[in-house]
Amino acid sequence: MKEKWAWAQRAWTQATQDTGSGTPAASTAEKGAQYAALLSSRLASYLVELAAADATDLYER
């Protein structure tokens, strides 16, 4: 959370008219694979860090 790449869910219906953003025209299978690999790695690291967090000390002082 401190690195600001993970955050709480947003109300996507208020963010855009179609709840999506950008255009998929430039997408490729290779880009999708790279994105999935990066996302998986970051999510795994985040979950490991979260699991190790001290639940009694969640707030900065």
Higher pLDDT: 45 or 13? It is: 45
- 13 Cβ partners below 8 Å, 6+ apart? 19
Give the burial class of 46: count Cβ atoms within 10 A of its Cβ; 0-12 exposed, 13-18 middle, 19 or more buried: middle
Higher pLDDT: 47 or 56? It is: 47
Mean pLDDT rounded to a whole number for the chain:
82
Higher pLDDT: 22 or 48? It is: 48
Rg (CA), the chain: 16
Q: Determine the Cα–Cα distance for residues 41 and 57; give it in Å rounded to an integer.
A: 26
Residue 1 banded pLDDT, cuts 50, 70, 90: low
Q: In the prediction, which pLDDT does 21 show? A: 65
pTM above 0.75, yes or no: no
